[in-house]
Each structure stands twice: as structure tokens, then as C-alpha cells.
């Protein structure tokens, strides 16, 4: 068997398990209605929760700095890649997150990996929620500390695990703020109390909560009125741009700048992108109405689906998982949605557990009522056709 035949054989296994993935080409800017593979589709799978990716103020900010600073940063932050725009954005993130300082990474994935691989030491333990994002899992794998998994948002199990791990030197609880596949919100107030009682540190990945949760969109911390030791996030979701960050104390940021390999050895994001993110953060604190509209959209979709008889998971966040169970069934459902010009992907193992395959809907403020109504009506028709609902 030659190299390609060997890979083909492995891909065949993926195909037989119904887990084969293919890219689709987006031919338009991120909006609710997009051209995907040349076909007009109403998109219910974007992370552009507040519609900022396509906002004129962000585009103008990026364009201006693009002309001044060029297309790429051409170096890591510690060599020649650092500009005043990276620094301005870090200050802005810190003030938005109400922490002393912040550090930019090229994406949220690398921020998680950078923190988790550098912060805990040998002899420490990471207590990680069962449904944490892949980047947290990979960060834990790279860490010299041990990892113990606790049941998803189960505070009784977390407490038990805290008691069981008392012999470790330091303990770190690590959790998503809003879980990317389930739309659940981590009970950060309770996690913080447990951390205090058992002398543990708390690391939160607020990728999906930033811009969405809390009065001013500051995320899970604001939602619960607490401040974890390390807050990680991405600029690629509600902020509408790209890049990741860590916010926390001056000393935490100084430590990461000196130790996080995904910071040290990565080329800095382009200054134009920093300028767009800066403009987004200026808008986000004043987007209360948009956040209200987003929540109304979430509630309308969830109520509609539950009334039809679907199993819908999660709390009130823009991530709405509709459970189908079987992987093939989810694929068929997603295909039927696409035939009706609705794009909402099937999520299958290994992203979710076996038997938990689903259609993962996400909603934004930009979706119009008629688009939401049409999507709900399509769920009704397809569900009846496939004998999933009455």
C-alpha cells in the first residue's frame, strides 16, 4: 500500500462512519443570506452574533490602518511584529474585560493552548469540564500538569474532584464560559465559590460569551459578577474579526509573554485587524439593544422548536443545539435543510458524543423575523417528513 492508498483507506473509514467532512465556499461577506457553493442560503451557523464582521466602521478602521501599516505584521510580537495598534487593542481589551492587562494571540485556539501549556507546572492538576472546547483539551494535553475531567457543569462532581485532588500542589479549574456545542453557560459564580473554598485558580474561555452575555457584553464574568484569575477569549465571534487574547493581572500577562510558546513563536496578527477589533470593542459596550434583540431571537427559536416536539439543549445563548441522536440522521436533516436554502450543519462525533449528533443552529441579531419564521417552518416540514415530530 503506497502513501496515498493508506490515507484513502483511513478516509474510507471516516466516510463509512458518516463522519466525512468537506469544505464549502462562501462567496459573500458574512450576512444571514449568503452564497454558499454558488447557492443562496440563509445561514444559521455563523458566530457573527452581533453582525459586526460586516460593519462599515470596522471595515473603515481596518482599511485606514492597512494602508498605513501594510498587509502583514511580518514578525512575532517580540521581534518586529509589535505595533502601537497591538498595544492599543490590548489596553482596550483590558478595559473592556476590566482587568489590569491583556495579551493578544493570533487566535483563541492558540491563546488556550498557550495558557494551559505554560501556566500549570508538574505536580499541579487541571480540572477540566467534560465538554470543554478542543483547544482547551489540546492545551491540557500539552501541559505538564495532570488533567482530571469533571461532569459537564456538574458542581457536585467538581467538588468531589476538588476533594480527590487535594494532594496536588496547585489546582486549576478550566471551563468554557458558554459551551460551543451545547450552548450551556458555566455557573461561574458557583465555580468561583468552590475555587475559593478549595484554594484553586479559575481559567475561563469566554469565546462565545464575549459581546453576548452581561449588561455591557463583557462576558460570563459580568453575567455572574465575578472575576476569574485568567480570562481567555477570541475576537472571531461576536467581535467579528480575528485574534485571541488573555486578560488578567499585569504579572499574568508578563508571565505569558515570557512563557507561552504560542505567543512567543507566532507572527503577530496584522495591525489592520487590530484596528478593526478596536473599533468593534468601541461599539460592543453600546450594543445593549442588539443584545436584547439577540436574546429575543434565541427565545423565539427555542420556543418554536420545543413546541414542535424537538429536543433542544442549552441555556439562552445564540447556540441552539437540536438533538437528532444518530449521525446519519443529522446529515440527512442538514441536507434537507440545505435543499430549502437553510444552512445549519450537522455536528457529529468526535465533536460531540456518540448518540448526541445534532443540528447546531446559531442565531445573530441580523436575522430578520421572516428568516427565522422560514427556518422554523422548514424544521416543522422536515421533521414531519422524517417522522421525527408529529
Q: Which residues are annotated as catalytic?
A: 180, 208, 237
CB of residue 181 to ligand PMP, shortest distance in Å: 8
Chain residue at closest Cβ approach to ligand PMP = 108
Residues 335, 178, 369: CA angle, nearest 5 degrees: 50
Residues near 234 by Cβ (< 8 Å), separated by ≥ 6?
107, 108, 111, 207, 210, 243, 244, 245
User: Do residues 127 and 148 lie in contact, with contact meaning Cβ atoms separated by under 8 Å?
Assistant: yes
**Among residues 81, 219, 244, 271, which is the contact residue for ligand PMP, using CB under 6 A?**
244
Q: Which stretch binds ligand PMP (CB under 6 A): 103-111, 288-296, 334-342, 348-356?
A: 103-111
Query: 65, 94, 107, 145: which one contacts ligand PMP (CB under 6 A)?
Result: 107
Q: Which three cell numbers stand for residue 7?
A: 490515507
Instruction: Build a one-symbol-per-residue string for 185-224: x at contacts with ligand PMP by CB under 6 A, - elsewhere.
Output: --------------------x-xx----------------
Distances (CA, A) of 224 to 6, 150, 192, 218: 51, 21, 10, 11
Phi, psi (deg, nearest 5) at residue 355: 85, 0
Question: Which of 218, 378 has the CB closer to ligand PMP?
Answer: 218
Binding mask 131-160 for ligand PMP (x = CB under 6 A): --x-x-------------------------
Helix, strand, coil percentages (3-state) for the chain, rounded to 5, are 45, 20, 40
Under the binding rule (CB under 6 A), the answer on residue 330 touching ligand PMP is no
Task: With contacts defined by CB under 6 A, name the span among 87-95, 105-113, 155-163, 164-172 that binds ligand PMP.
Answer: 105-113
3-state secondary structure of 296: helix
Report, in Å, the least distance between residue 232 CB and ligand PMP. Answer: 8
Which lies closer to ligand PMP via its Cβ, residue 32 or residue 108?
Answer: 108
What mask of x and - would describe binding to ligand PMP in positions 221 to 240, judged by CB under 6 A?
-------------x-x----
Of 77 and 308, CB closest to ligand PMP: 77
Q: Which of 49, 85, 109, 224 binds ligand PMP (CB under 6 A)?
A: 109
Q: What is the longest distance spanned by two Cα atoms in the chain?
A: 62
Among the residue ranges 86-94, 101-109, 138-146, 280-288, the one whose residues contact ligand PMP (CB under 6 A): 101-109
Residue number, 195 or 319, with CB nearest to ligand PMP: 319
Q: E strand or H helix at 36, and its extent?
A: strand 33-36
CB atoms closer than 10 angstroms to residue 63: 13
DSSP β-ladder status, 346-347 and 357-362: antiparallel
* Cα separation, 316 vs 299, whole angstroms: 7
The CB-of-47 to ligand PMP minimum distance in angstroms stands at 7
Interacting stretch for ligand PMP, rule CB under 6 A, among 107-115, 155-163, 211-219, 254-262? 107-115
Cell 440563509 -> residue: 42
Distance (Å, whole) CA 181 – CA 246: 22
**Closest among 265, 269, 228 to 246, alpha carbons compared:** 228
CA end-to-end distance (rounded Å), the chain: 50
Residues that bind ligand PMP (CB under 6 A): 107-109, 112, 133, 135, 176, 180, 205, 207-208, 234, 236, 244
Amino acid at each position: 500500500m503506497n502513501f496515498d492508498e493508506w490515507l484513502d483507506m483511513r478516509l474510507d473509514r471516516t466516510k463509512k462512519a458518516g463522519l466525512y467532512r468537506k469544505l464549502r465556499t462562501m462567496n459573500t461577506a458574512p450576512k444571514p443570506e449568503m452564497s454558499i457553493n454558488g447557492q443562496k442560503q440563509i445561514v444559521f451557523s455563523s458566530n457573527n452574533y452581533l453582525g459586526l464582521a460586516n460593519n462599515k466602521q470596522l471595515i473603515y478602521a481596518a482599511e485606514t490602518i492597512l494602508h498605513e501599516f501594510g498587509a502583514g505584521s511580518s514578525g512575532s510580537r517580540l521581534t518586529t511584529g509589535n505595533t502601537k495598534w497591538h498595544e492599543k487593542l490590548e489596553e482596550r481589551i483590558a478595559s473592556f474585560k476590566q482587568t489590569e492587562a491583556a495579551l493578544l494571540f493570533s487566535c483563541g485556539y492558540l491563546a488556550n493552548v498557550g495558557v494551559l501549556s505554560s501556566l500549570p507546572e508538574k505536580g499541579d492538576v487541571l480540572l477540566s469540564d467534560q465538554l470543554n472546547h478542543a483547544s482547551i483539551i489540546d492545551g491540557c494535553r500539552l501541559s505538564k500538569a495532570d488533567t482530571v475531567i469533571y461532569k459537564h457543569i456538574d458542581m457536585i462532581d467538581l467538588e468531589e474532584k476538588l476533594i480527590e485532588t487535594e494532594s496536588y500542589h496547585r489546582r486549576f479549574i478550566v471551563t468554557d464560559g458558554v459551551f460551543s456545542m451545547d450552548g450551556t453557560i458555566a455557573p461561574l459564580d458557583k465555580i468561583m465559590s468552590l475555587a475559593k473554598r478549595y484554594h484553586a485558580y479559575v481559567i475561563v474561555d469566554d469565546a462565545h460569551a464575549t459581546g453576548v452575555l452581561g449588561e455591557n457584553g463583557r462576558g460570563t464574568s459580568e453575567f455572574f459578577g465575578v472575576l476569574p484569575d485568567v480570562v481567555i477569549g477570541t475576537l472571531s465571534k461576536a467581535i467579528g474579526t480575528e485574534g485571541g487574547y488573555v486578560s488578567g493581572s499585569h504579572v499574568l500577562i508578563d508571565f505569558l509573554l515570557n512563557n507561552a510558546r504560542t505567543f512567543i513563536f507566532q507572527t503577530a496578527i496584522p495591525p489592520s485587524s487590530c484596528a478593526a477589533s478596536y473599533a468593534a470593542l468601541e461599539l460592543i459596550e453600546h450594543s445593549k439593544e442588539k443584545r436584547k434583540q439577540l436574546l429575543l431571537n434565541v427565545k423565539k427559536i427555542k420556543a418554536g422548536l420545543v413546541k414542535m416536539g424537538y429536543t433542544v439543549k442549552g441555556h439562552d445563548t445564540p447556540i441552539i443545539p437540536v438533538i437528532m441522536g444518530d449521525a446519519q440522521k443529522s446529515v440527512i436533516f442538514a441536507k434537507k435543510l440545505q435543499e430549502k436554502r437553510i444552512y445549519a450543519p450537522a455536528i457529529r462525533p468526535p465533536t460531540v458524543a456518540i448518540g448526541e449528533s445534532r443540528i447546531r443552529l446559531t442565531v445573530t441579531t441580523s436575522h430578520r423575523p421572516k428568516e427565522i419564521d422560514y427556518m422554523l417552518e422548514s424544521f416543522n416540514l422536515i421533521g414531519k417528513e422524517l417522522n421525527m415530530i408529529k
